[in-house]
Amino acid sequence: MSKKNRATRKAAARPVATVTLAFGLSVAACDVINPGQILDTDLNDQSAFRVLVNGMAGDFADALDDLNWNNSVMMGDLSGTSAYLSRIRHWEGRPTSEDATDYDSAHAVPWVVQDGIERMRETLGAAFDTSPLAAEAHLWGGYANRLLGETMCQAIIEGGAPESREVYLQRADEHFTEAIAIATAAGEEQIRLAATGGRASVRINLSEWDAAVADAQQVPDDFGFYALYHTTGTGNTIWDESQSRVNLNVKYTWFEAYYDETGDPRTPWFRDAAIVTAADGATPQLMQDKYSSQEADVALTTGGEMRLIEAEALIREGQWEAGLDIVNDLRAEFDVAPWTAASQAEAMDALKKERAIELWLETRRSGDLYRWGGDPTQDVILVAMKENAPHVLLEDRATCCSRTTHIGAWRTPRSVTLFT
């Protein structure tokens, strides 16, 4: 695939995400009747299900946004040269219990999805198994649980005892599998592909490599599914905090030198003569430009990620030359020089860097480091951060998030405002 085609894959391959929120956007141009608060039981109606699923998508986008700027500084995608103490602590690798409120929204989404699915299943009966909205609901359940499985240190379900984070990944797998089955029956190909790619990304962290590759191979190069952001709702905070409020910075990161040397369009940053220093009042401000506006969307599943799953599987199996070829084919699409390797270990190092580049600022690196053994001293991105900013932790660095309660314990009916 040409660089041009790959660069435009987002605009051409996100119909499900667009449809998901199109309802909420389209009513702005029409007469709107606001019925005010309604009873919780009034949501058990087919006419409300589009709104319920829109809510799942919106809540997930909000949760991803909350975690993305924390995870990006904790995992070295950005530095936290910030006026916020929480951002500084995440950057230094020592977040505290005071910072756990930033994770609340992510723990709420699985409950929101499951509650909606239960309503829909009870109302639709057998028709649930062929409902496009049911497929989409399960898709958001998959992404919500993947987000937790990749970023949280432990799983806490309904206020229970801490469990392995893989419990979230297993739940994500189950949701994606349901989404695939229902989307297939409903003829919703974009939902099926998004769920198939999502399941592939989960299965590599569950060490189910054959199944993951089988899924990845079904997702075409030009596919992309995104969480959507807006100026009138949830906006992209990484854009805001890097280009407006300047609490997030490319300075001191591995990506600073990498982009300077290669010009790789996947990791762009720039200097703004009008905003020279970061919010800390001292550090030169380098602004990420992957997200160039508050409306910039965040990738959840792409063909590029799927190719890297296939490449990693080959390298793990000892077919490192073939795996490296896939990696370098991806790089050629962006006119950047290929990685070189003379051994399986060197090919794996190249693969790890390529995933950091391809998935930059998408809240995915915690899951990758978990899969690769969890040692931050062996992570080139975090090692570079330590070298450039010696005050941050490395050996004892936190690379996942912790909390002691689970918002999903909510089970009380709530009044909801709907627009029809």
Mean pLDDT to the nearest integer, 394-399: 95
Average pLDDT of the chain?
88
Residue 230 has pLDDT above 90, yes or no: yes
Taking the CA of residue 389 as centre, how many other CA atoms within 13 Å lie in the half-sphere pointing to its CB?
24
Rama region for 263: left / alpha / beta (φ>0; ψ in -120 to 50; rest): left
CB neighbourhood size of 237 (10 A): 22
Which residues sit opposite 287 in a β-bridge?
270
Domains in the chain, start-ordered, CATH in brackets?
A: 3-417 (1.25.40.390)
Residue 26 has pLDDT above 50, yes or no: no
Mean pLDDT to the nearest integer, 157-165: 90
pTM of this prediction? 0.89
pLDDT tens track for 386-396 = 999 999 999 99
At 115, phi and psi to the nearest 5? -60, -40
* 318, 344 Cβ separation under 8 angstroms: yes
> What does the alpha-carbon distance between residue 320 and residue 337 come to, in Å, rounded to a whole number?
18
* 45, 123 Cβ separation under 8 angstroms: yes
Question: In this predicted structure, what is the pLDDT of residue 168?
Answer: 97
Q: Which of 1-15, 224-238, 326-340, 371-385 has the lowest mean pLDDT?
A: 1-15
Mean pLDDT to the nearest integer, 45-72: 94
Mention every residue, 6+ apart, whose C-beta is less than 8 A from residue 304. Answer: 6, 221, 330, 358
Mean pLDDT to the nearest integer, 86-97: 91
Question: In this predicted structure, what is the pLDDT of residue 7?
Answer: 34
The end-to-end CA distance of the chain, in Å, is: 43
Residue 9 has pLDDT above 90, yes or no: no
Stronger pLDDT, 97 or 325, i.e. the higher one: 325
pLDDT-derived band at 32 (thresholds 50, 70, 90) equals low
Taking the CA of residue 413 as centre, how many other CA atoms within 13 Å lie in the half-sphere pointing to its CB?
10
141-152: string of b/e by CB count within 10 Å (b at 16+)?
Answer: bbbbbbbbbbbb
pLDDT-derived band at 3 (thresholds 50, 70, 90) equals very low
Question: In this predicted structure, what is the pLDDT of residue 363?
Answer: 97
pLDDT tens track for 107-151 = 999 999 999 999 999 999 999 999 999 999 999 999 999 999 999
pLDDT-derived band at 31 (thresholds 50, 70, 90) equals low
> What does the alpha-carbon distance between residue 197 and residue 100 come to, in Å, rounded to a whole number?
30
Stronger pLDDT, 39 or 69, i.e. the higher one: 69
> What does the alpha-carbon distance between residue 53 and residue 152 come to, in Å, rounded to a whole number?
25
Question: In this predicted structure, what is the pLDDT of residue 41?
Answer: 79
In a 3-state reduction of DSSP, which class is residue 122? helix
Mean pLDDT to the nearest integer, 166-188: 98
CB neighbourhood size of 128 (10 A): 17
> What does the alpha-carbon distance between residue 382 and residue 285 come to, in Å, rounded to a whole number?
19
pLDDT-derived band at 82 (thresholds 50, 70, 90) equals very high
Residue type for position 56: M
Task: Tell me the C-alpha to C-alpha distance, in Å, between residue 24 and each of 53, 173, 194, 285.
Answer: 11, 29, 21, 36
> What does the alpha-carbon distance between residue 157 and residue 146 come to, in Å, rounded to a whole number?
14
CB neighbourhood size of 70 (10 A): 23
Percent of the chain with pLDDT over 70: 87
